[in-house]
Structures are given as structure tokens and as C-alpha cells.
Structure 1
Amino acid sequence: MTSLALALRRINDRLAILVGLILLACVAFTLIEIIARRLGGSLGGVDEISGYVMAVTTSWGISYALTEQAHVRIDLLRQRLVPMGRAVFDTISLACLAGTAIVVAWRGWGVLEKTLSTGARANTPLETPLWLPQSLWWAGWVWFALSACVLLASVLVSFLNSDYETVDAVAGAKGEA
């Protein structure tokens, strides 16, 4: 695996730990709300905050899944190919994923920009300024697009050098038997 891909993996490992801690905090918040309701009280807004947390942690978590090769792929044909053929499929797959991430990040900015220009707030008792969760969500997609592009560049260099083993290590299907 290239040093760039390894560095990206280390960064995403740390981000995944942070995302996990945020999810654990959300679980604790939810448990406190459940206990408070049983005692006749309520914190309020737990469902709204949980929704924001899920969107934000998902957008950041997909970069971790990318560097861990955990994205779902249908590899019926790929499994039967020689290393160069697998490298072609892996490169095309990563290019499509990077393209999709770029489009989502690009279009996500339009959503965030509109929210910022209108000062939109959630139609809930918390009246959350929507730019807060949307900016964190969008930043996750930007990071995913950047991660995918960095890995694609690494894979393209390896592919052009006929280093199909590195292509497989960076963009192959993990857990393939």
C-alpha cells in the first residue's frame, strides 16, 4: 500500500474513533431521556439531535469504510480475472465512487449555501439553526470526496506502473476468498 494511502487510513482510523465516541454520547443522551421519561420528565430534542448525529457520523464514517475496503461491491466477474483485469475493475470502481462523492459534495454545498443565506431553522421546539448540522454533514462528504480522489490518484499511479498488487491493496475487495 502506498504511503499516501496508509496516511489516509491512519487519519480515517482516528476519525472513526471520534465518530464512535459521538455515537456513544448520543446513546447515553438517549438513555438519559428514556430514564427521565420514566420518572415523569423529559430533556426534549433527543430525537432531533439523534437524527443530526446519524447524518453527520454517516457522512464522516463512509471515508473510514473506503479506506478499510468495506463498501459493498458485487464482484462476481472480478473474482475470475487475472490481476490486471481485477486492477482495471478496481480502478473503475474507485473512479465511480470518487465521482459520486464529488457530485454529492458539490450538490450538498447548494443545500448548505441556501440554508446560510436564508438563516433557516428547524421547525421543532429546539429551532436548531440548520447550518450547524448541515455544515458538519457537508464537511463529511467533502472529506469523503477528497479521500476517494487521493486513493484514486494513488491507484492510478500504481496501475500505470503495473503494480496490480498495490491496486488490490488500496482498492480491491477486502475479504474476498
Structure 2
Amino acid sequence: MTFKFNVLYRLGAWGAAACMVTICALVALQVTFRLVDALLVLVGMRRLGFGITGLSEVASYLLVGATFLGLAYTFVHHAHIRVTLLISRLPSALRAWFEVFCLLVALAISLLLGYELVELARESLEFKDVSSGFLSIPLWIPQAVLIAGVVLLCLALAEALVITLRIAIREPDSFRETTATDDSDIQ
């Protein structure tokens, strides 16, 4: 399938990658600080005591951001785990309609999740909720990243649904070839 909003999905993937790189950099920096302290103690000097306050809290928010921002990109590149044992044995026309049904269910669940996340972020803004960790991060910030990831996923699911519906109605016998991963989709 060729997705028209692939640039947005790629932007989400870059955001996910940035979250992962930031986690790696923060952890590497924390390990370096501890290593320097250990070496100073080893040679008889005093520890410097440098550390990154709230590292585990920030890393956990970044990990959730990386997960959600990458959802749409992995979906459009067929990287989500799918159980196709039953579907692969169906005739192409029936398989197309089964795919439409599955995409409708996935879109409905994703829309419900998105709605609830928006409500959660709205409440966090209204009550000025902050994290209970060391840094007191306003909770609407990580929740906004979750919302962005779910919105991208909903857009990808809706786009796949439209494409699959078009195929199911116009040319159901070509469905199998269209949904297969080909090199032109991966850039």
C-alpha cells in the first residue's frame, strides 16, 4: 500500500528515535558520572557526586513517547505482529473484507484510546497535575506525546481502511498482492 501521509508517519518515527537516543545519552552520561566517581575513589580522592536527578522518571516518559510515536510508522511498514494463520487461507475477496473488519475494530479501539487520552490530558491541565517524582513534570507534556502517537496511528488506520475498502469493492482478487510488503513502500 502507498500511504499519502507517510511523511507524518516518518516524522513520528523520527520523534520515537529521538526519544530513544535521548534515553541512551542520559543513561550513558549517568554511567560516566558513576565511573568517574568510582575511579576517583579508587585513586584516593573524594567523589564528585554528579548525577542526573530524576533519570528513571524522564527515561520512562521518553520510553512511552518512543513507543507511541512509533506506532503509525511500524503499522504502515508492516512491522506489527499479525497472526495470519487463518486469514492467509481465505480467498482474496473474503480476505479483503475480513481485513476491512479488522481495520474498523482497530480504528474504533484507537479512537477510543485517543478520546480517553485527550480527556486525561484535559484533566491534568485543569488540575495542574505534576508527576510524583523528583522533577515534578507537568503530566500534560508526556500525555500530549501519547495523544500525538495515537492520532498518527488513527490516521494510518483510517488511510489503510480507505485503501482496503477501495480494493475490496473494486478489485478484491488483487488484494493479496497489494497488501504484501514490497520494496517501493520502504524508503
- Please tell me the TM-score bracket, short chain as reference: 0.7 to 0.9
Partners in 2 of 1:94 and 1:16 — Cα distance? Answer: 21
Partners in 1 of 2:73 and 2:88 — Cα distance? Answer: 24
Moved more, 120-129 or 68-77: 68-77
Q: What per-residue deviation string (whole Å, max 9, x for no partner) do you get for residues 21-69 of structure 1?
A: 3311220111101221332421111111111111112111110111012
Counterpart residue identity of residue 131, structure 1: W
Q: RMSD value over aligned CA atoms?
A: 2.1
Please, what TM-score do these two structures have when normalized by structure 2?
Answer: 0.81
Residue number among 75, 80, 98 corresponding to 2:107 in the alignment: 98
Q: Percent identity, aligned pairs only?
A: 21
Counterpart for residue 36 of structure 1: 33
Counterpart for residue 166 of structure 2: 157
Counterpart for residue 49 of structure 1: 58
Residues 13-92 of structure 1: pairs in structure 2 closer than 5 A:
13-38=10-35, 39=37, 40-92=49-101
Please, what TM-score do these two structures have when normalized by structure 1?
Answer: 0.85
Partners in 2 of 1:164 and 1:44 — Cα distance? Answer: 58
Counterpart for residue 45 of structure 2: none
Q: Any stretches of 5+ residues in structure 2 without a counterpart?
A: 38-48, 183-187
**What's the CA shift for 1:158?**
2.0
Q: Any stretches of 5+ residues in structure 1 without a counterpart?
A: none
Counterpart residue identity of residue 25, structure 1: T
The secondary structure found in structure 2 opposite 1:129 is coil
In the alignment, is the contact (CA less than 8 A) between 1:90 and 1:168 conserved in 2?
A: no
Moved more, 61-70 or 12-21: 12-21
**What's the CA shift for 1:168?**
5.5
**What's the CA shift for 1:163?**
4.3
Larger relative helix fraction:
1
**What's the CA shift for 1:14?**
3.8
In the alignment, is the contact (CA less than 8 A) between 1:63 and 1:143 conserved in 2?
A: yes
Partners in 2 of 1:6 and 1:148 — Cα distance? Answer: 10
In the alignment, is the contact (CA less than 8 A) between 1:13 and 1:64 conserved in 2?
A: yes
**What's the CA shift for 1:161?**
1.0
Larger Rg over CA atoms: 2
Aligned length: 170
Moved over 6 A (4+): none
Partners in 1 of 2:86 and 2:54 — Cα distance? Answer: 48
Partners in 1 of 2:135 and 2:173 — Cα distance? Answer: 53
